[in-house]
A = this chain, B = another copy of it.
Amino acid sequence: MNTGKVTLVSAGPGDLDLLTFKAAKAIAAADVLLIDDLVNEEIATLKAPHARVVKVGKRGGCKSTPQAFIQRLMRRYALQGKHVVRIKGGDALLFGRAGEEIADLRHAGIDVEIVNGISSGFAAAASLGVSLTHRDHCQGVIFVTAHLRDGTEPDWAKLAATGMTLAIYMGASRIDSISEALGETLAPDTPAAVVQWAGTSREKRVCAPLGDIAARAAAQQIASPAVILIGGAVGEAIVELAARGEPLRRLSA
């Protein structure tokens, strides 16, 4: 019996139009689809109607399928000779635990291929109509998770001191403490935005100065899953909306 293989496919933000052709082809060729948290389930019905579908993520109070179990499932199907496609939201190589899965599969002698996708920080910037790296403002962008393995938070002062745009993932539930910590280094009028469900039909977003962003996001009931963008480059969205005559308090959509 041949050993199968695993393809880690990045599904992007959720809008099926933001899939790449390569991702759609990989999904169509799957024997088994493992569908992660936050992935649009229409992907399975529309793109791979005959594959076996296993949902391996749940949100909203339910316990997610443990990582070890997901890895065991992938190994089992692949060792049965199946082509397993593991679909992850965004880009699998950014905060997707792909590193652990790749190592585990390789250890078992299973081939792994990776297909890129659009991560939510990029979709959020597109929606706001801003470059992540406008050269009037910065030299680059930092993608960072607010949710560290050991329960602590990143060293916000050190990150802020780089002068780069910050794209903070998994931070919506603690935006209060994050914006307060960043406020020790950055000016309170540093432009900020929070975009929930970026790049999908459910998208909600708010732009405000750093000093107000937590309150504004709370007022708009913007919660997880969301990406927080901070830095001068983000301010171009505010400039634009102000130029259209929209008062600052109406900068959300």
B-binding residues in A (CB < 8 A): 12, 15-22, 24-25, 91-100, 102-103, 106, 112, 114-119, 122-123, 125-126, 129-137, 139-145, 148-149, 154-155, 158-159, 161-162, 164, 199, 233, 236, 239-240, 243
Contact = CB atoms under 8 A, between A and B. Distances in A.
B135 A99 contact: yes
A210 to B, nearest CB: 19
Contact of A102 (B98, B130, B158, B199): B130
A94 B133 contact: yes
Contacts of A20: 12, 17-21, 118
Nearest to A18: B20
Contacts of A158: 161-162
Contacts of A161: 158
**This chain: copies in complex:** 2
Nearest to A159: B162
Nearest to A239: B103
Nearest to A106: B240
A21 B25 contact: no
Given A19-B20, A131-B93, A159-B162, A116 B112 contact: no
Given A19-B20, A140-B144, 4 more contacts: A99-B137, A135-B149, A142-B143, A155-B162
A135 B97 contact: yes
B102 A131 contact: yes
A129 B102 contact: yes
Contacts of A16: 21
Contact of A154 (B134, B140, B149): B140
Given A130-B93, A140-B143, A143-B133, A18 B116 contact: yes
B236 A94 contact: no
Contacts of A125: 93, 114
A201 to B, nearest CB: 13
Nearest to A118: B116
A214 to B, nearest CB: 21
A145 B149 contact: no
A29 B214 CA distance: 40
Top 8 closest pairs, chain A to chain B, by CB: A99-B134, A99-B131, A140-B144, A17-B22, A114-B126, A116-B118, A98-B131, A17-B21
